[in-house]
Amino acid sequence: MKILVPLKRVPDPDTRIRLKPDGSGFDWDGVKFVINPFDAIALEEALRIKERLGTGEIIVVSIGGPECVEKLRVGLAMGADRALLVNTQEAFDSLAIAKCLAAVYQRVQPAFVLMGKQAIDDDSNQAGQMLAALLGLSQATFVSKLELVENGSKARCARETDAGIETITIKLPAVITTDLRLNEPRYVSLPGIMKAKKKPLEEIGLPDLGLSLSSRTTLLKLETPARRKPGVRVKTAEEMVQKLKTEAKVR
């Protein structure tokens, strides 16, 4: 069984992000980057599926510049079999990313795509759904439990929704996006790092995929949110009610 896992390079959640003075973008100086946490969960689940089956191939893919190679190497060190970098310096929106992944899917022909439900840098939560639509495949989003059934021809997925856990069964091939509670990604071991150096990492360009992409969205300006006023501590419920009444009149 072949599983395709997209990995996105994103700022470390513990890193403080600064804007450029003119608001045209982010100041990346000194910022640490990691694999998108939801994508790491997807890779971990793919590795567990392979371990349960005792066979299979896991392919990790990133879209970006040479700086993405390091994160692909981390994916290989975790246990992926080979990596693919779509080398481009363009900053794409979700639709362009989905089109690129669709072309990679056609090139690789996996049993299914397992990817994070969203990236923590923009939180768009769109690429997975768009990818399934472009390919005409089944999809299951926000998956917190995944089980292959009927000899691997279908996947039983528990989805986290606002109304609770919804369990659905979809036919493969499909696009499945992972939620936070699916698993806990493993740490990279020293033997894994050594093995990763010998695993294949292929670099291709957009022309190799027959693509000429551009984003349909344009970033105009970024601004930091206004600072909140400090809270006020009251001693009694009556004082709190009076404060609320006063604030309501002012507004």
What is the C-alpha to C-alpha distance for residues 55 and 35, in angstroms, rounded to an integer? 25
Torsion of CA 104, 107, 111, 114, to 10 degrees: -10
Rounded to 5 degrees, what are φ and ψ at 114?
-120, 115
In the block, tokens 């590795």 appear at 47
- Global pTM? 0.86
Q: Which two tokens stand for residue 128?
A: 């997975």
Q: What is the CATH superfamily name and number for domain 2-250?
A: HUPs (3.40.50.620)
Per-residue pLDDT of the chain (251 residues; tens, 9 = 90+): 999 999 999 999 888 888 888 888 888 888 999 999 999 999 999 999 999 999 999 999 999 999 999 999 999 999 999 999 999 988 889 999 999 999 999 999 999 999 999 999 888 899 999 999 999 999 999 999 999 999 999 999 999 988 899 999 999 999 999 999 999 999 998 889 999 989 999 999 999 999 888 888 888 888 888 888 888 888 899 999 988 888 766 55
